[in-house]
Amino acid sequence: MPEIVLQGVTKRFGPVRAVEDLTARILDRELFVVVGPTACGKTTLLRLLAGLIRPDQGQIYFDGVLVNDLPPRERGVRMVFQGQDYALYPHFEVYHPQRWSNLSFPLKLRRERVAQIRERVGRVVRRLGIPSHLFSRRPGELSEGQKQKVALGRATVLPPKVLLLDEPLAHLDPPSRARAREEIRRLHEELRTTTVYVTHDLAEAFLLGDRVAVMREGKFVQVGTPKEIRDHPADAFVAEFVRAYWEGLRRAFG
C-alpha cells in the first residue's frame, strides 16, 4: 500500500484557494484523519488524491510515482463520498451475483466470473455484517447505517491501495456512529490499506486516527498523534478546537 507525499499542492476555484501550498506525508498503511471546519479544503484534498481533479500547482506522489496526470482508475483508489446517498446507484439493488448491483458493480466492470463475484462479495458482506435480506433492496429502501455499510462494501470489494472516506458518518445517529467507527477501524486493520478519513469532528478524529491533521483555510496547521495534538496544540486555532473537544466530553459524561 502506498505512502502518499504531497509537495506544495494548490487548488483554486476562481479566486478561492481551496488547498494552498500543502506539503505532507501520509504513511504506508496509516489511518490518517483530516479534521477541520466546513469549507477548509478537506473534500478538495480527497478529490485531488482520487484524481477527480488536478492540482494547479505542486505534485502528488504514490510510493514515489508522480500521479498528477493519472486517472482515478489507474491509482488504485476507492472513495466513499459524502452525502445521504453515499453516491450509491439508486436504481440498482444492493447485491445480485449475476446482475449489475451496487456491491457487484466494480467486479462486473472487470468482467469477473459469477463464482469470483460470489466469493469476493461474500467476504465483504461477512466483514461488514450486511444481512442477506437486504440484498434485493435499493438504496432508497435502506437506513442510513445500511447505506453506509453498502458504500464501504462497494469501495472495498476490490481491496484498494488507498481508501478515501469523506465524512462517512455524518448522517448517522450517535449510537450508529459509535458502531460505525468500530467497523471502520476494524476494516482498516483487516485491509491494512492506506486510508485518508475526513471529518469535522475532533472526537471522531482522535478515536480513529493513527495521526491527525488539523486543517484550516487549505493548509495543515498541525499534524501529529491524537495525544500530541491534545497535549500540545500548535496555535490558538488548534487550542480552541481541543477546548471544544473537552467541553463536549464534559457535557456528554457530566
Question: Are 185 and 248 in the same domain?
Answer: yes
Strands 16-26 and 4-13: antiparallel
Amino acid letter, residue 182: E
Rounded Cα distance between 184 and 164, Å, is: 12
Residues in CB range of 85: below 8 A, 6 or more apart: 139, 147
In a domain, 175, yes or no: no
For residues 84 and 240, the model is more confident at 240
* Nine cell digits for residue 252: 456528554
Question: Are 129 and 89 in the same domain?
Answer: yes
**To the nearest whole number, what is the mean pLDDT of the chain?**
91
In a domain, 31, yes or no: yes
Question: Are 21 and 53 in the same domain?
Answer: yes
* Nine cell digits for residue 219: 493548509
- The boundaries of the domain holding residue 119 are 80-159
CA angle 57/60/64 to nearest 5° reads: 140
- Percent of the chain scoring above 90 in pLDDT: 70
Residue 187's pLDDT is: 86
Question: Are 123 and 143 in the same domain?
Answer: yes
Q: Nearest to residue 1, comparing CAs of 188, 220, 205, 225?
A: 188
Instruction: pLDDT band for 233, please (50, 70, 90 cuts).
Output: very high
The total of structural domains in the chain comes to 2
Domain endpoint, select from 159, 190, 225: 159
Question: Are 55 and 90 in the same domain?
Answer: no
Question: Are 67 and 185 in the same domain?
Answer: yes
In a domain, 50, yes or no: yes
In a domain, 173, yes or no: no
In a domain, 167, yes or no: no
Question: Are 70 and 105 in the same domain?
Answer: no
pLDDT score of 118 more than 60: yes
Residue 6's pLDDT is: 98
Rounded Cα distance between 161 and 156, Å, is: 10
